[in-house]
Amino acid sequence: MNDFLHKLPQFVNHHLALSALFVILLIALIVTFIAERFRKFKELSPASLTMMMNRENPLLVDISPRDSFEKGHIPGAKHVLMSQFDPENKDLTKAKSMPVVLICRSGQTAQGAAKRLVKAGFEKVYYLGGGMGAWSQAQMPVVKGKQ
């Protein structure tokens, strides 16, 4: 270990670009980790969503495109097109104090919708990490067709 510390300055001098890239990536990783820890919505795995469904009866909102929703969705999920997703909707505002779980195909769109719900004052906002792909891969139940 001591030998490593003595050679480190020499390595950094010979590989300045590589060292700078390492520092930048390390900072980006730390910032991402801190941002995830302090955001007001949380990611759920398929297993943790199943536990929540059994204990708390959350509102499941699937914001996938219509054809994706009809090909397969979580039992009990309500379908809302992302283009029509409105956190100020009177039906949705009734659920401000209950857990709301957002679901999409990959989990990326659901994160954006989760941010909107938090901004609108929702208290318990979650999204399914990995979306329906993760749910299907975990061999969880899927319902086909319309609601």
Sorted by where each begins, the domain ranges of the chain are 2-37, 41-137
In tens, the pLDDT along 67-119 reads 999 999 999 999 999 888 888 887 787 888 899 999 999 989 999 999 999 99
CA–CA dist 8, 5 (Å, integer)? 5
Q: Provide the annotated active-site residues.
A: 104
- Residue 86 vs residues 65, 117, 143: alpha-carbon distances, Å: 16, 9, 25
Reported pTM: 0.78
CA–CA dist 44, 53 (Å, integer)? 11
Q: Taking residues 46-69, what's their average pLDDT?
A: 95
Please give the angle made by the CA atoms of 108, 111 and 115, to the nearest 5 degrees. 150
Q: 41-137: what fold?
A: Oxidized Rhodanese; domain 1 (3.40.250)
CA–CA dist 43, 76 (Å, integer)? 19
